[in-house]
Amino acid sequence: MEEIVRELTEAYGPSGAEGKVRELIQERIAPYVDEQRVDALGNLIACKRAGASPAVGRLMLAAHMDEIGLIVSYIDEKGFLRFHPMGGVFPLTLLGGRVVFENGTMGVIGIERWQEDKIPPMDKLFIDVGATSPAECPVKVGDIAGFHRPFFAQGTRWVGKAMDDRIGCAVLVEFLRQVKETIYDLYVVFTVQEEIGLRGAMVSAFAVEPDVAIAVDITTTGDYPESDKMAVELGKGVAIKVKDSGMIAHPGLRRHLVQLAEKAGIPYQLEVLRRGTTDAYAMQVSREGVPAGVLSIPTRYAHTPSEMVDQRDVRAAVDLLLHLVAQPMELGG
């Protein structure tokens, strides 16, 4: 999967500007789905019909295409750009970083005055694109920048910007490539604008009307120096979510995923995430409610330009999805 992960993580695609990522995915999945369409918000909705007739239900799998970024809010008289965050951007990760705009313009993030003992507030930072005036500036107010950082692989670890959630997109692309038959009508949705409010999942879940929904996203880990205490580590398997700050995973679906993993010998971990949520929250509360869960890829340094995953966890996620669609679910209460 390394090639597709590299391709997707290096692509430009902040919230609201996911078009290039969507085009890459459309091309990759075309041979493996029965139909695909793009809705009014920009979600890519792909359908693979059940091999058996009739299908036992509709299963929605979702991963978001967007990444965090910066939006230009002001250009000063010398051509420096002020910005606002698009999603959960931390000032500590920005200084000296490189960004790229949709038109290819590159920029460097600078600071008004460096104070070693303070984390700079966002309003003291700016983007330098080499302009000397607003008229000379190659971007304008409202243009969105994504982070510019190449992917690399080292041992079993993959590192790149936008692993959140291009790694989830890669899992679903690989799943579609490998799945031969499914007893469900599969709706595999690559959503937009998750980082700014789960908006793509809201509208796509309403349209799909799934019987069960699963998001594939990242989660943080507790395995690096002085990290928050958390029972998730890189390389120990796909994480099956129990709870995060936005939702409690459907208990029957969680149990079913655990039982599948144990029966198939797929490494897994149980995840309780203190902060953050995923598209599963939006899918869970769609219409009259949907049993929803999450398969999470353990990730170090989330929401920075260098997010790290382990390919063994990624492959475990693919394997678990392949087992999931091959047999009926007994969800209970």
Catalytic annotation, residues: 194
Structure tokens that stand for 81 in this block: 């750009």
The Cα–Cα gap between 266 and 64 comes to: 24
The Cα–Cα gap between 262 and 290 comes to: 25
| Residue 51 φ then ψ, to 5° | -70, -35
CA-wise closest residue to 65 among 209, 166, 178: 166
The Cα–Cα gap between 179 and 101 comes to: 36
The Cα–Cα gap between 185 and 241 comes to: 24
Run of H or E including 154: strand 152-154
Q: Which residues pair with 109 in a beta bridge?
A: 127
Q: Please enumerate in sequence order all residues whose Cβ is within 8 A of that of 185, keeping only pairs 6 or more positions apart, or say none.
A: 47, 48, 49, 50, 55, 57, 58, 59
The Cα–Cα gap between 89 and 176 comes to: 32
| Residue 243 exposure: Cα atoms within 13 Å on the Cβ side | 3
| Burial degree of 177 (CB within 10 A; 0-12, 13-18, 19+) | middle
Whether residue 314 contacts residue 297, with contact meaning beta carbons closer than 8 Å, is answered with yes
Q: Which residues pair with 269 in a beta bridge?
A: 239
| Burial degree of 288 (CB within 10 A; 0-12, 13-18, 19+) | exposed
The DSSP symbol for 6 reads H
